[in-house]
Structure 1
Amino acid sequence: MDREVLPCYVVCDVSFSMCDHVDEVNAGMREFRGVVHADRRATVQIRLCVVVFADRPLVVRPLSPALEPAEVIRPRQESGSDFGSAFTLVRTVIERDVDVLKRQRLRVRRPMLFFVSDGRATDPAWPAALERLNATTSCPEMIAFGLGSVDQPTLDRIGSSRVFLGGDGVRLGIALASSVARTVLRPDHV
């Protein structure tokens, strides 16, 4: 094992309540890609996966080098924000991805999960799914990014590592880049 990788998962709420914020999410993803492009170590080390969810979750970008262009995230005209199914899917995806990376003889850093939402879950059982995700051997570092009129206690519960709020003037791309800065990026790029 000689190369090290950092698997990053952006899990984005695209339900009706988030429709007004999807352009900001796409701009943030482009900005993050630009920051990664500016640092050779980041280019080699960071892998990115994007999962969107409303009533149901969907992987729109499987884990791949962060420099590869991402699919444009689109809102759904669905009122549900099923956090539980998103956490369940991403748990399965992370476990599979980490296994694949290890079979490629790569050193895998602790995965990072960047959860983007207003924090307004419509499924009351989501905390159990979050608990199962956090109990896995590949438990990710959890960072929440709140957009719109946020439910702060919910985001605080999800973002056990950090919580950023767009309403505080924090841009999503910079929040994502600063979250990986401790591991990969040089501080002067953040």
Structure 2
Amino acid sequence: MGSDVLPCYVACDISLSMADHIEELNRGLREFRGAVHADASVADRVLCSVIGFGEEPAAVHGLYLTGEVAELPPPSPCAGTNFGPVFTFLRSAIDTDIRLLETHRVRVHRPLVFFLSDGQPTDPVTWPAAFSSLCDPAWPRRPRVVAFGVGDADEEALGRIGTFRTYLGRDGVRLGTALIASVMHVLSTSGPPPGRTLS
């Protein structure tokens, strides 16, 4: 592991509404994994965790080197897509992971969260409070959040979530490209990666 690392959390909607997009997301994860693994300058600096969510979030795997990133499971039978629980899950996971890394004297970049969904939450009233807690400016471990919309994504919801950048698959942007661009920009500059800013 490098002396400085970037923790990345890929939170993927795997509810029934995403059934037609899971293979697209897995292709993006494979492309991301291959690109990071092939670049010796970043291969041991990027750690990645994958989280699937529908009604409730569940870790597909914890924070590993990107070359070990697993693929997403098939969509769950649940019809719900609750955003709030995954934001609460992310805050807890980030806090735990960074505490552990810091005990090993590893310099940790501010985390990066990739939030992938068709952007139609079934908890529209309650998720904003959980998201505000995740991105609380008073919390030093708050992540940069990149939102990636697939299918008939709800631009308004994703625009509120993508604090760092928002991409839409229907614009022709591939998931792998968005993941790679975001990681490389965080490692090389404090500015956001290129992409679409939603108004």
Classify the TM-score, shorter chain: over 0.9
1:104 positional shift: 1.0
* Aligned sequence identity (%): 45
State the distance in 2 between where 1:73 and 1:7 align.
22
Shift of 1:75: 0.9
Residues 36-66 of structure 1 show CA distances to partners (whole Å, capped at 9, x for unaligned) of 0121121110000011100110011100111
| Contact kept? 2:7, 2:63, Cα under 8 Å | yes
CA distance in 2, matches of 1:71, 1:170: 20
User: Is 1:26 aligned to 2:26, yes or no?
Assistant: yes
Matched-pair contact (CA < 8 Å) for 1:9–1:51: yes
Whether the 8 Å contact between 1:41 and 1:184 is mirrored in structure 2 is: no
State whether structure 2 residue 66 is matched by structure 1 residue 66: yes
CA-to-aligned-CA distance 1:138-170 (integer Å, 9 cap, x gap) = 100010000000110100000011001111111
Deviations 1:4-60 (A, max 9, x none): 000000001111111110000000000001110121121110000011100110011
* Secondary structure of residue in 1 paired with 2:73: coil
Q: 1:87-109: per-residue Cα shift (whole Å, max 9, x none)? A: 00111000000101101110000
Residue 44 of structure 1: SS of its match in structure 2?
A: coil
Structure 1: distance between partners of 2:119 and 2:144: 18
The yes-or-no answer on 1:180 pairing with 2:168 is no
Q: What is the identity, as a one-letter code, of the residue corresponding to 1:146?
A: G
Instruction: State the match for 1:17 in structure 2.
Output: 17
Gaps of 5+ in 2: 189-199
| Aligned counterparts of 1:112 and 1:133: Cα–Cα separation in 2 | 12
Q: CA contact under 8 A between 1:113 and 1:143: conserved in structure 2?
A: yes
State the 4+ residue runs in structure 1 displaced beyond 3 angstroms: none
> 1:133: which partner in 2?
134
> Does the aligned pair in 2 maintain the 1:87–1:129 contact within 8 Å?
yes
Q: Report deviation, 1:174.
A: 0.7
CA–CA separation in structure 2 for the residues paired with 1:120 and 1:15: 11
Deviations 1:110-132 (A, max 9, x none): 00000000110001200000001
Write out aligned runs for 1:29-178 (5 A).
29-123=29-123, 124-135=125-136, 136-178=139-181
Question: Quick one: higher RCO (CA 8 Å, sep 6+), 1 or 2?
Answer: 1
- The aligned amino acid for 2:39 is D
How far did residue 72 of structure 1 move?
Answer: 3.4
Give the superposed CA RMSD. Answer: 1.2
Question: Aligned residues, how many?
Answer: 184
Output the TM-score relative to the length of structure 2: 0.89
Using the alignment, how far apart are the partners of 1:110 and 1:179 within structure 2?
13
> Does the 8 Å CA contact 2:50/2:60 hold for their aligned counterparts?
yes
| TM-aligned CA deviation for residue 184 of structure 1 | 3.5
Structure-2 separation of matches of 1:132 and 1:14? 23
